[in-house]
Chains A and B, each alone.
Chain A
Amino acid sequence: MKLNILVVDDNRMMREMVSRAVRMSALDVGELIQAGNGQEALAAMRATWIDLVLLDLNMPVMDGETFLRALRADTALRAALVVVVSTESSQPRIARLAALGAGFVHKPFRPEELLAEVERQIASQRGAPHGSPQAAGTPMRAAP
């Protein structure tokens, strides 16, 4: 099943690097969209069904953690898988992100690390218990 993927990072070059890693991976990619901050990302998700968000944290306008909270509070969007791709090393902050149902890949990363975390999140969602953020919407549905 094709995954629609949204890459969110304020640095254009990093968006391209992450996008390239996605294209080179074994993932079956549908649409690959980019956004420069959390606000743009929410707008993109309201316009296009997104299965997976690859999310930076430190961004202007709306940072990644604020975006993630808004996403999980939105019943139409909350089912999306999220993998944070960040330079963040704070264990308390990483734990907060995990509590919001997000995976984590530390920058700098190797493409295989990103793919492994995405696959872990997909597997986790398929096995998610009812009532969890991952199970709150239709999992991994195809783009309409």
Chain B
Amino acid sequence: MSPASTDDALRTIAGVVGDLAFLTPLGIGPLLAAGEQELAVHVAFRGSASGTLVLALAPGLARALVDNLAPPEPGCTPTGEDLADAAKELANVLAGNLLATLHGEQAEFQLGSPELVPPAELPASATFAIGLILAEGAMMAGILPA
């Protein structure tokens, strides 16, 4: 992937987290190690290319996501299901937008349902990986080849 497409991908990710979840990107950060992750989600895709998008969130970011996407009633605490749903939707929207950025709008993909997975570090085989620092916490997105 060219440096220009890495910049495009970064803009796409920052745009999605800002537009979908009203989170504030501050800059590029390190990839999250397994012990630094609270939630991790996989979205498998196939079509013009095949692989898996991985999204990992640092502690606190999933709660911020829920608060912005579907605020709980006053006095209520988001459930684990709420946190998972928010992370899954962010992963789904990220996957669709990021694949279009990386492969163009003529490419076609079928996305699988986002699934929670145990936190893990991105393997060296990742074709794309980026850490992002947000005002509300850190996250990491990566693409693993099929």
> Is A47 among interface residues, defined by CB-CB distance under 8 A?
no
> Is B16 among interface residues, defined by CB-CB distance under 8 A?
yes
> Is A32 among interface residues, defined by CB-CB distance under 8 A?
no
> Is B42 among interface residues, defined by CB-CB distance under 8 A?
no
When the two chains form their complex, are residues B106 and A10 in contact, meaning their CB atoms are under 8 A apart?
no
B81 to chain A: closest residue by CB: A12
Q: What DSSP secondary structure best describes chain B's contact surface?
A: helix
Q: How many residues of A contact B (CB 8 A)?
A: 22
When the two chains form their complex, are residues A92 and B106 in contact, meaning their CB atoms are under 8 A apart?
yes
When the two chains form their complex, are residues A10 and B113 in contact, meaning their CB atoms are under 8 A apart?
yes
When the two chains form their complex, are residues B69 and A17 in contact, meaning their CB atoms are under 8 A apart?
yes
A11 to chain B: closest residue by CB: B89
> Is B38 among interface residues, defined by CB-CB distance under 8 A?
no
Contact of A90 among B21, B70, B106 (CB under 8 A): B106
When the two chains form their complex, are residues A87 and B70 in contact, meaning their CB atoms are under 8 A apart?
no
Residues of B contacting A87 with CB < 8 Å? 92-93, 95-97, 111
Binding site for A on B (CB under 8 A): 16, 19-21, 66, 69-70, 81-82, 85-86, 88-89, 92-93, 95-97, 99-100, 105-114
